[in-house]
Chains A and B, each alone.
Chain A
Amino acid sequence: SQQGEEDPQALSIQEGENATMNCSYKTSINNLQWYRQNSGRGLVHLILIRSNEREKHSGRLRVTLDTSKKSSSLLITASRAADTASYFCATVLTGANSKLTFGKGITLSVRP
């Protein structure tokens, strides 16, 4: 069963704008991760936030986690055409092993 659900399914913005993507999940998690996938390629890990953290930054990426609402958001600031990709959230459940459960992904298009 799908643990993470991303929203929106697709997002189109102008270069320079900020992109916000959301992820909701259903059960208690150990951590939540965001991955990027360029067309037809493997996934690349972007950022991980643990269940006891509320916000993390990495370059132009900002991730927040609200465990009371079981939701996370990924913000990409000052987007570039090269940010065009699919983005996935993935959760590691509390007490689970190393298994990740992925959402269905968000397609981000950044227009030059």
Chain B
Amino acid sequence: DVKVTQSSRYLVKRTGEKVFLECVQDMDHENMFWYRQDPGLGLRLIYFSYDVKMKEKGDIPEGYSVSREKKERFSLILESASTNQTSMYLCASSPLRTSYEQYFGPGTRLTVT
């Protein structure tokens, strides 16, 4: 079974802090994705990556950056956390150019105070 893990289930940070959210997948998938999920807005794509050291902006990249130094790991970085970044963050992975089915991690609920 594909397993996607996220470093924390719950995280509380202060405004202005630098925040790292880590995601690891164990199925050698090329594609990895970061979403945020907010009530009434569904899932919105922040960034995605097709390969190591490669990244592309999604629909809402402002205030975020990403890093993919190894194929299995995709990190989301909040350079200076703000209260409007309080959200559920979901990581996903998928094989390259197959069915496009995505496998999701359990999510990290981030609260910025």
Q: Which residues of A contact B (CB under 8 A)?
A: 1-2, 30-31, 33, 35, 40-45, 48, 88, 92, 97-105
Complex alpha-carbon distance, A30 and B101, angstroms: 12
Neighbouring B residues of A98 by C-beta, 8 Å: 31, 48, 50, 94, 96-97, 100, 102
Q: Is B100's CB under 8 angstroms from A92's CB?
A: yes
Neighbouring A residues of B50 by C-beta, 8 Å: 97-98
15 more contacts with CB within 8 A, not counting A40-B107, A43-B104, A100-B45, are A2-B42, A30-B100, A31-B99, A42-B104, A43-B102, A48-B100, A88-B43, A97-B50, A98-B94, A98-B97, A98-B102, A99-B33, A102-B35, A104-B40, A104-B41
Top 4 A-B pairs, shortest CB-CB distance: A42-B104, A104-B42, A102-B43, A43-B104
Q: Which residues of B contact A (CB under 8 A)?
A: 4, 31, 33, 35, 40-45, 48, 50, 58-59, 88, 90, 92, 94, 96-97, 99-107, 109
The residue among B33, B45, B97, B100 with the most chain A CB atoms within 10 A of its own CB is B100
